[in-house]
Structure 1
Amino acid sequence: MLLVDPRSPVPPFEQIRVQILQLIQDGSMAPENRLPTVRKLAADLGLAPNTVARAYRELELNGAIETRGRHGTFVAAHDDPVHQQAQKVAREFAHQIRALGLGRDDALALVNEQFPAPVTGR
């Protein structure tokens, strides 16, 4: 299921985190699916348990998974965690913009500057 490339410049915990998010997003890991224990996944991947634990912590902070004590770690039962994280970032951004005394039009202009213009085929 998960693979870690030891030659990759991406740290192993990040490779695990990204792959689990992708599995959740594409529906391969449905809400309420139980994840392997930290020790089991670490052994399967040939990694230190702390590496897997860090990936799980990051996923839990983002709301993608939830730990239920001795019962284990599960895919969170709510909507897409990436979308939820994006909503959180958008709320924080809007709060900061208002605190700076700027309005919606200013905020949207600033966001639009961060995305390249779409290329049209001519």
Structure 2
Amino acid sequence: MRAGISVDLGSAVPPYEQIRTQISSLIAVGSLAAGTRLPTIRSLASDLGIAAGTVARAYKELEQAGLTETRRRNGTVVVGMPDDDLPAGGAVNADVVAAVDRYIAEGRAAGLDDGTLEGILRVRLGLSRLGQ
């Protein structure tokens, strides 16, 4: 699963939050289906070159959000998205995911960090709620 997860140590976003966000996004778009076993904490930490405690914190927050479950013999397993977090119809539309990927790529090409990209998105979401 390493291929879908990366950590930018220069980002203002803490590494555990980057991991948590990426895994929850992979679950939301269906790339990580219910029952999928996540890498062990030590394995993912080693692959990413970060401390095991960082991955452990991300996994703990994913479990608290109800997205994963830790089982003694099976490790950490994806439970899936809570039903109230899913859009009508189940999974997130692939075109929407592609648009978000383009947004991220364009922002990074422009030299924006993750925090700035998130801020822009939050502002735009707030404006759309106001009907602007």
TM-score, with structure 2 as normaliser = 0.62
Report deviation, 1:58: 0.4
Give the number of equivalent residue pairs: 90
2:36–2:78 Cα contact (<8 Å) kept: yes
The partner residue of 2:131 within 109, 115, 118 is 118
In the alignment, structure 1 residue 47 sits paired with structure 2 residue 60 = no
| Structure 2 residue matching 1:70: 3-state secondary structure | coil
Structure 2: distance between partners of 1:69 and 1:82: 27
SS in 2 for 1:35: coil
Q: Percent identity?
A: 52
Could you tell me which of 14, 19, 24 is aligned with 1:21?
Answer: 24
Cα distance in 1 for residues equivalent to 2:81 and 2:28: 12
Distance 1:56 1:8 in 2: 20
Give the aligned residue type for 1:118.
Answer: G
Q: Which of 1 and 2 has higher RCO (CA within 8 Å, sep 6+)?
A: 2
CA distance in 1, matches of 2:84, 2:15: 21
**Contact 2:41 2:55 (C-alpha < 8 Å) held by counterparts:** yes
TM-score by length of 1: 0.67
Question: How far apart are residue 82 of structure 1 and its match?
Answer: 4.0
Q: CA deviation at 1:31?
A: 0.5
Determine which structure has more spread, i.e. the larger CA radius of gyration.
Answer: 1
Counterpart mapping for 1:1-122 below 5 A: 1-77=4-80, 79-80=82-83, 82=85, 116-119=129-132
Instruction: Give the CA deviation at 1:72.
Output: 0.9
What are the ranges of 5 or more consecutive residues in structure 2 without an aligned counterpart? Answer: 87-127
Could you say what the CA RMSD is over the residues aligned between the two structures, in angstroms? 2.3
Q: Which runs of 5+ in 1 are unaligned?
A: 84-114
**2:84 and 2:20 mapped to 1: Cα distance?**
12
Contact 1:25–1:80 (CA<8 Å) still a contact in 2?
no
